[in-house]
């Protein structure tokens, strides 16, 4: 089946349901959503299966993308789609971050692996916007905004993994004020490709005499092709793709092992201050974490559409209590349950990620509380949305039955593609640890308590009120607990808080449904929200025991005994 952009849902969220469209009028928002839908449905979507089957290939000339990808990316650049949320002074359109996220959702719903390329470029734009020099901004941001050049993040190294403080890549000063970069990075998405005229690598490295750990890390801008005095690509930099990974999914996204400066001089420029790499990195990472949460939405939407279509066409067995004639499986109660759960979960995580995105717009507009609430919700948006993406794509296979396990239906691809989202840009365990260790105690716990108070005030659903109260109780418990106990309960607590926030956002949507939503879809949306509040919210309450449990049972046996 062909992917269809969820324009009605996006338009409802951005113009009616209290999520900022960044000041754009409804006509502008709708025009953008319909425009990107055409590109996604006609150009990017049809390439998804080709990209999965063929994959990116490493050749002597670098990484070659699957057939059709270069042309489809050129369509993206020509349409100016990468510039939606970029400030006007850097060649962008100056529209909202929320609207740019909706654009990326549509592209990723059609072809998630392909959409990783603009996702990473958005992170590079954000880092340079906040930390780059005027010259760096003038040369790189206009070309990154259009997509004429793309960007990457080079953080991970073979020996370091998520422990960034262990990285070994070196940066040595040159006489001309630039730096020689030498080292190796792994798991670099779109580290090389043939889509754009240049690639701006943002690379974490250590300078001579740097302090150990994360305190000694700096960020460098290392282009694939060194720009000349006019900012145009000139000679090649000493950057080499050692290999590309053979992965479970996202085959059209080249995941590269990158070598810098192993043959000649690899030249980079310092971004921001020396030893300011972690601050700049988190500018990139926080942007990327929202975008990865959005990938959960993309895949859940695509899986739900595919499951609904298949269930409506597949005729098998008579419905119990009905006539003896076989019916489409969508008439069977358990299939209905799965599909309604898929719709409810997809709408819930879309609401969560879009709400977090609106906080970016509010922060940029000077709202004094938006920054701290965004900090609180970012680990929820990344972790919960990707966990739900895995659940919904798995349910999509189940709805298809045996055919879901067969690659030709495409249901399996969505499940395979989804699995990485819980791992990269900080595993979901890291997100949960960040939530309980750093975010819950923020400002003496006031950021979370203010959110919970607002949720209580808006809520008249008993199970949701109970879930909010349990989250409040657990937060107080975490603030008294030792580190191991906090971390032991962190993942179930993240799920509970995420479901509470999603339930609150969905309940608020009910009040706006009669104003501006497609009447033909309103009945389905009401049913999905009711399902969420009556079934998924009570499920989350059942996690309270796990969230409250101490770490003691986890260490009753030794690591050696666990291996028996």
Asked about 425 being catalytic, the answer comes back as: yes
CB of 512 within 8 A of CB of 529? no
- Bridge partners (DSSP) of residue 151 are 200
CA-wise closest residue to 278 among 126, 158, 165: 165
440-473 pLDDT, tens digit each:
999 999 999 999 999 999 999 999 999 999 999 9
Q: Is the pLDDT of residue 322 over 90?
A: no
Length of the chain (residues): 564
**pLDDT exceeding 90 applies to what percent of the chain?**
85
**501 is written with which tokens?**
């926030």
Neighbour-count burial for 533-556, b at 16+ CB within 10 Å, e otherwise: beebbeebbebbeebbeeeeeeee
Q: Are strands 198-206 and 149-154 parallel, antiparallel or unpaired?
A: parallel
Alpha-carbon span 118 to 104, nearest angstrom: 8
120-161 pLDDT, tens digit each:
999 999 999 999 999 999 999 999 999 999 999 999 998 877
| Residue range 531-537: mean pLDDT, rounded | 98
User: What residues have CB less than 8 Å from 132, skipping those under 6 apart?
Assistant: 140, 141, 221, 271, 272
Q: What is the pLDDT of residue 23?
A: 59
Neighbour-count burial for 257-296, b at 16+ CB within 10 Å, e otherwise: bbbbbeeeebbbbbbbeebebbebbebbbbbbbbbbbbbb
| Residue range 267-290: mean pLDDT, rounded | 91
- Bridge partners (DSSP) of residue 202 are 153, 221
CB of 79 within 8 A of CB of 35? yes
232-275 pLDDT, tens digit each:
988 999 999 999 999 999 999 999 999 999 888 999 999 999 99
- Bridge partners (DSSP) of residue 227 are 233
Neighbour-count burial for 15-25, b at 16+ CB within 10 Å, e otherwise: bbbebbbbebe
Per-residue DSSP letter, 464: H
pLDDT classification of 317: cutoffs 50, 70, 90: confident
pTM higher than the cut 0.85: yes
Give me the catalytic one of 331, 425, 470, 552.
425
Alpha-carbon span 202 to 191, nearest angstrom: 11
Q: Is the pLDDT of residue 21 over 50?
A: no
Alpha-carbon span 361 to 28, nearest angstrom: 17
CA-wise closest residue to 385 among 494, 297, 505: 297
């Amino acid at each position: 089946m062909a992917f269809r952009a969820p324009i009605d849902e996006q338009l409802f969220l951005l113009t009616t349901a209290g999520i900022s469209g960044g000041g754009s009028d409804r006509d502008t928002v709708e025009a953008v959503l319909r425009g990107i839908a055409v590109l996604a449905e006609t150009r990017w979507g049809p390439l998804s299966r080709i990209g999965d089957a063929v994959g990116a290939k490493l050749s002597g000339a670098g990484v070659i993308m699957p057939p059709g990808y270069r042309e489809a990316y050129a369509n993206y650049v020509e349409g100016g789609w990468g510039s939606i949320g970029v400030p006007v002074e850097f060649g962008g359109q100056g529209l909202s971050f929320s609207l740019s996220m909706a654009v990326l959702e549509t592209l990723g719903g059609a072809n998630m692996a392909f959409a990783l390329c603009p996702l990473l470029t958005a992170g590079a734009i954000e880092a340079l916007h906040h930390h780059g020099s005027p010259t760096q901004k003038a040369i790189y941001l206009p070309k990154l905004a259009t997509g004429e050049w793309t960007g990457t993040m080079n953080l991970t190294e073979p020996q370091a993994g998520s422990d960034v403080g262990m990285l070994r890549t070196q940066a040595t000063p040159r006489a001309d004020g630039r730096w020689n970069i030498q080292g190796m990075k792994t798991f670099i998405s779109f580290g090389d490709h043939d889509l754009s005229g240049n690639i701006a690598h943002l690379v974490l490295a250590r300078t001579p005499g740097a302090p150990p750990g994360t305190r000694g890390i700096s960020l460098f801008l290392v282009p694939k092709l060194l720009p000349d005095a006019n900012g145009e690509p000139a000679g090649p930099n000493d950057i080499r793709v050692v290999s590309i990974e053979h992965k479970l999914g996202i085959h059209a996204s080249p995941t590269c092992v990158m070598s810098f400066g192993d043959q000649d001089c690899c030249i980079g420029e310092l971004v921001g201050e020396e030893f300011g790499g972690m601050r700049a990195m988190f500018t990139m990472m926080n942007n990327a974490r929202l975008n990865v949460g959005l990938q959960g939405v993309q895949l859940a939407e695509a899986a739900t559409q595919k499951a609904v279509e298949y269930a409506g066409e597949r005729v098998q067995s008579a419905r119990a209590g009905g006539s003896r004639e076989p019916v489409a499986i969508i008439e069977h109660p358990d299939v209905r349950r799965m599909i309604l759960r898929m719709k409810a979960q997809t709408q819930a995580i879309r609401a969560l990620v879009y709400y977090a995105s609106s906080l970016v717009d509010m922060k940029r507009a000077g709202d004094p509380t938006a920054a701290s609430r965004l900090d609180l919700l970012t680990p929820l948006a990344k972790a919960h949305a990707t966990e739900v993406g895995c659940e919904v794509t798995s349910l999509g296979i189940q709805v298809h039955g045996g055919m879901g396990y067969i690659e030709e239906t495409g249901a399996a691809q969505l499940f395979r593609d989804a699995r990485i989202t819980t791992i990269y840009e900080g595993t979901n365990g890291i997100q949960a640890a960040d939530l309980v260790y750093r975010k819950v105690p923020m400002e003496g716990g006031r950021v979370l308590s203010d959110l919970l108070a607002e949720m209580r005030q808006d809520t008249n659903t008993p199970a949701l009120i109970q879930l909010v109260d349990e989250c409040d109780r657990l937060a107080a418990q975490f603030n008294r607990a030792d580190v191991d106990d906090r971390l032991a309960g962190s993942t179930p607590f993240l799920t509970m808080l995420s479901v509470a926030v999603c339930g609150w956002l969905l309940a608020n949507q009910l009040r706006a449904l009669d104003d501006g939503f497609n009447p033909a879809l309103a009945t389905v949306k009401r049913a999905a929200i009711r399902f969420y509040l009556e079934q998924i919210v009570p499920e989350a309450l059942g996690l309270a025991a796990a969230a409250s449990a101490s770490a003691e049972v986890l260490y009753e046996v030794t690591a050696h005994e666990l291996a028996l």
